[in-house]
Amino acid sequence: MKPINEVVSVITPLDRKNVDTDQIISKEFLKRIERTGFGKYLFYHWRFDENGQEKKDFILNDERYKESEILVAHENFGCGSSREHAPWSIMDYGFRVVIAPSFADIFHNNCFKNGILPIKLSVAEVEELLANGQQEPFKVEVNLEEQTVTAQDGKVYSFEIDPYQKQMLLNGWDEISLTFQYEEHIAAFEEKQRV
Amino acid sequence: MAKTIIEKIWEQHIVYEEKGKPDLLYIDLHLLHEVTSPQAFEGLRLANRKVRRPDLCFATMDHNVPTKNLPIIKDPIAKKQITTLEKNCQEFGIELADMEHPDQGIVHIIGPELGLTQPGKTIVCGDSHTSTHGAFGAIAFGIGTSEVEHVLSTQTLWQAKPKTMEIRINGKLGFGVTAKDVILAIIAKFGIDMGTGHIIEYTGEAIRNLTMEERMTICNMSIEAGAKAGLISPDETTINYLKGRRYVPQGEAFEQAAQNWLALATDEGATYDTVLEIDADEIEPFVTWGTNPSMGSGINAHVPFAADFKEESDREALKKALAYMGLEEGQPLTSIDIQHVFIGSCTNARLSDLQAAAEVVKGKKVHPSVTAIVVPGSRTVKKQAEEEGLDAIFLEAGFEWRESGCSMCLAMNDDVVPAGERCASTSNRNFEGRQGAGSRTHLMSPAMAAASAISGHFVDVREMVAAKA
Ligand code: SF4
């Protein structure tokens, strides 16, 4: 997994709440057996019309946001299906950070396994960022070590993050190798279960 | 100290704990299907890792499988997913109920059916509706593919202890009100993210009176309330359901197990982080009108007005939803015409669901402008239904009678609702495009969907059943 600490980019304001994983990656793209190549299908039915043409009014199709690495949306981002294809498509598209007031549990977890940083800010803070970002491209600097989002207007937003998950992201650790260090505990547990 | 069942099961499964870290939790049962597992197995192979406990894994094929003309899969990519699962199960020694196996079915239907699902277990699957298994008093939750890989190789997961929530349903359900109506009413009342970070325990008189199949319908949709999992403390109903199933202990060992299971029930006086209540007699047969499961109302209500909502973001969400659904503010729900009916999915495709639907359609005909299909949740359900003659009732009425699988719940196979058309569905998600690009989904119970099939529009099934009696 690719470690992550600082990300500087314009934000992509996605003015929606309860964005579900069916919208992030639609089921017709779940048939691949690889982890990569999902970026072109991200938000497919919001991005493209029936003829595969870009819909002009969807934010991802605005040239000015094409290089953005930070997605901002309203509450309960990533609800619904557990499909990890959702974070895979977000990552593959080029986003490294998602900012929202709240996330659905499984999606939130899946982000950490893929080197995506999900940041929770308050509703008011997110609305402020969205409002700024919707007017014109708005740059922020995310710093995981410091747990801050610094906006181009100088405003600093701090966020909380679980210390364990923070370390995972900062170091890009492979969780399975980490867990192997607890092999004796697992074996002892299994032994106890047998009796 | 008095404890909830959630705390008891959690504590029994801690392999390792340390301050500042999540708990390392042991997993007792790992269910697998073709869509969320291939990348996990590939990960194992790349890192040269083994499956630690293949004996605790069980796999089936459900999401992609066709529901007619078996075993031909036309879509080459879907086919590859199926053959990949076969190959992976063979290579890693995992039991598989493949497409033509008599035990095949939707993963959350066959777990309980086979008795793999048991009280007190920790159960995971790369699928959010794993919460279904909580009906037995298990901690069962959906995981992503990276976690599938983690469980395959270590049989554990790092998990922060979730908060606990009680949802008490007081009193008795009224005539014609089903488990599906209960869970839809709960989500409409408290919202689709009310359960975030929590495991829900459903309690109260109404829950105690439910059969196991009805309890599964409720727990199944815990994820639609945003919860990590939902469960119900085991009781005699649980024990009676499990007795004699293939994977439960048999004979005297079963009696012993049953005692342990019953002891898991939440202690008198135990407390939860959050408590919510709802009265059974305020629940009516329910229908959703929007694009998430909380956007629903009792059948005799109307589509809300934007002015009914206080917050601007909710008014916006309503407008977007109605534009997608092709509905107007204030429209009575009974005035909405439909073109499709889908009776199926892990929420409502067990035998009792098919019985309830058959009871409504018996001796009647599907409305000429409606295409209606029944997709049993498993091959076992299909067989039992046929033994009772339910297939004949459905076919006679003009329904199609299909092979088991997820089918039109997510439309990964050929069972798709065309753009702009409307479907009365017994499944669990009405998100945009869920049943096909541009499709419009309305969630409801099997009896309500059956009644809609006959009428061609939504209707209060109680009128139909009462008229019959
Ligand atoms: S029936 Fe629907 S919700 Fe259930 S497992 Fe299949 S796709 Fe998922």
H or E segment to which residue B259 belongs: helix B252-262
The distance of A114 to chain B (nearest Cα, Å) reads 8
Return d(Cα B239, Cα B271) in angstroms, integer.
Answer: 25
Q: Is the pLDDT of residue B19 over 60?
A: yes
A64 touches chain B (CB under 8 A): no
Question: Taking CB atoms and an 8 Å cutoff, what residues of chain A touch B313?
Answer: 17, 74
State how far the alpha carbon of A110 is from the alpha carbons of A104, A183, B63, B176, B249, in Å.
Answer: 10, 23, 21, 40, 35
A28 touches chain B (CB under 8 A): yes
User: Smallest Cα–Cα separation from A152: which of A126, A175, A133, A174?
Assistant: A133
The mean predicted confidence, pLDDT, of chain B is 96
In this structure, the residue with its CA closest to atom 6 of ligand 1 is B406
Q: Is the distance from CB of A176 to CB of B150 less than 8 angstroms?
A: yes
Q: Is the distance from CB of A187 to CB of B155 less than 8 angstroms?
A: no
Quick one: pLDDT band at residue A89, thresholds 50, 70, 90?
very high
Quick one: pLDDT band at residue A108, thresholds 50, 70, 90?
very high
Number of CB atoms found within 10 A of residue B389's CB: 11
Is A85 domain-assigned?
A: yes
Q: In this structure, what token pair is assigned to residue B345?
A: 């999915």
Return d(Cα B279, Cα A143) in angstroms, integer.
Answer: 48
The distance of A32 to chain B (nearest Cα, Å) reads 7
Question: Taking CB atoms and an 8 Å cutoff, what residues of chain A touch B223?
Answer: 80
Return d(Cα B367, Cα B338) in angstroms, integer.
Answer: 10
Return d(Cα A25, Cα A15) in angstroms, integer.
Answer: 18
A131 touches chain B (CB under 8 A): no
Return d(Cα A113, Cα A37) in angstroms, integer.
Answer: 17
Among A79, A85, A173, the strongest candidate for a mutation testing the B interface, having the largest count of B CBs within 10 A, is A79
A193 touches chain B (CB under 8 A): yes
pLDDT score of B77: 86
> Partners of A126 in the beta sheet?
none
pLDDT score of B449: 98
Q: Is the pLDDT of residue B147 over 80?
A: yes
What's the whole-number mean pLDDT along residues B364-372?
98
State how far the alpha carbon of B23 is from the alpha carbons of B16, B162, B425, in Å.
Answer: 6, 11, 39
Strands (E) located in A1-153: 6-14, 70-73, 97-100, 117-120, 139-143, 148-151
Q: Is the pLDDT of residue B99 over 80?
A: yes
pLDDT (tens digit per residue) in B191-229: 999 999 999 999 999 999 999 999 999 999 999 999 999
Is A121 domain-assigned?
A: yes
Which CATH number is A86's domain given? Answer: 3.20.19.10
Q: In this structure, what token pair is assigned to residue A144?
A: 């995981």
The distance of B365 to chain A (nearest Cα, Å) reads 33
Q: In what order do the strands lie in the sheet with B122-125?
A: B95-97, B57-60, B29-32, B122-125, B139-142
Return d(Cα B373, Cα B344) in angstroms, integer.
Answer: 8
* Eight-state DSSP code of residue A79: B
Is A26 domain-assigned?
A: yes
Query: Given CA atoms B417, B423, B427, B429 in this order, what sign does their dihedral have?
Result: positive
DSSP string, B198-226: EEEEEESHHHHTS-HHHHHHHHHGGGGGT
Burial class (CB in 10 A: 0-12, 13-18, 19+), B105: buried
DSSP string, B17-72: --TTS-EEEE-SEEEE-TTTSHHHHHHHHHTT---S-GGGEEEE--SS--SSSTT-
Q: Is the pLDDT of residue A83 over 90?
A: yes
Q: Is the pLDDT of residue B469 over 70?
A: no
Q: Which domain holds residue A162?
A: 6-194
Burial class (CB in 10 A: 0-12, 13-18, 19+), B421: middle
Contact A186 B64 (CB under 8 A): no
Question: Taking CB atoms and an 8 Å cutoff, what residues of chain A touch B22?
Answer: 162, 164
- Residue B436 Cα to ligand 1 midpoint, Å, equals 14
pLDDT score of B71: 72
Return d(Cα B420, Cα B374) in angstroms, integer.
Answer: 21
Is A1 domain-assigned?
A: no
pLDDT (tens digit per residue) in B222-236: 999 999 999 999 999
Return d(Cα B323, Cα B310) in angstroms, integer.
Answer: 20
The total domain count for chain A is 1
Quick one: pLDDT band at residue B467, thresholds 50, 70, 90?
low
Residue among A45, A79, A105 minimizing CB distance to B432: A45
pLDDT (tens digit per residue) in A139-172: 999 999 999 999 999 999 999 999 999 999 999 9
Binding pocket residue ranges, ligand 1, CB within 6 Å: B 62-63, 106, 108, 127, 129, 345-346, 406, 409-410, 427-428
What's the whole-number mean pLDDT along residues A98-104?
97
pLDDT score of A10: 97
Residue ranges of the alpha helices (H) in B333-469?
351-361, 379-387, 390-397, 446-455, 461-468
pLDDT score of B186: 98
HSE-up of residue B312 (Cα within 13 Å, Cβ side)? 3
pLDDT score of B199: 98
pLDDT (tens digit per residue) in B337-350: 999 999 999 999 99
Return d(Cα A78, Cα B72) in angstroms, integer.
Answer: 34
Q: Is the distance from CB of B336 to CB of B458 less than 8 angstroms?
A: yes
Q: Is the distance from CB of B82 to CB of B55 less than 8 angstroms?
A: no
Q: Which residue in chain A is spatially nearest to B148 when comparing CA positions? A: A84
Among B9, B11, B12, B16, the strongest candidate for a mutation testing the A interface, having the largest count of A CBs within 10 A, is B16
Tell me how far the alpha carbon of residue B25 is from its chain's centroid.
24
The mean predicted confidence, pLDDT, of chain A is 95
Contact B156 A179 (CB under 8 A): yes
Measured distance between the N- and C-terminal CA atoms of chain A, rounded to whole angstroms = 39
Q: Is the distance from CB of B59 to CB of B94 less than 8 angstroms?
A: yes
Measured distance between the N- and C-terminal CA atoms of chain B, rounded to whole angstroms = 51
H or E segment to which residue B341 belongs: strand B340-343
Residue among B63, B150, B196 minimizing CB distance to A175: B150
Question: Taking CB atoms and an 8 Å cutoff, what residues of chain A touch B154?
Answer: 176, 179-180, 186
What's the whole-number mean pLDDT along residues B59-69?
92
pLDDT score of B426: 98
pLDDT (tens digit per residue) in B269-318: 999 999 999 999 999 999 999 999 999 999 999 999 999 999 888 999 99
Contact A84 B146 (CB under 8 A): yes
Quick check: bond before B71 cis, omega within 30?
A: yes
- The b-or-e profile of B298-308 (16+ CB within 10 A means b, else e) is bbeebbbeeee
Please name the amino acid found at residue A190: E
Q: In this structure, what token pair is assigned to residue A122?
A: 């308050």
Contact A33 B81 (CB under 8 A): yes
- Residue B130 Cα to ligand 1 midpoint, Å, equals 10
Question: Taking CB atoms and an 8 Å cutoff, what residues of chain B touch A106?
Answer: 128, 141-144, 228
Is A10 domain-assigned?
A: yes
Is A161 domain-assigned?
A: yes
Is A87 domain-assigned?
A: yes
Return d(Cα B429, Cα B422) in angstroms, integer.
Answer: 14
Is A58 domain-assigned?
A: yes
The 3-state DSSP composition of chain A as helix, strand, coil percent (nearest 5) reads 40, 20, 40
A96 touches chain B (CB under 8 A): no
Residue among B77, B155, B197 minimizing CB distance to A32: B77
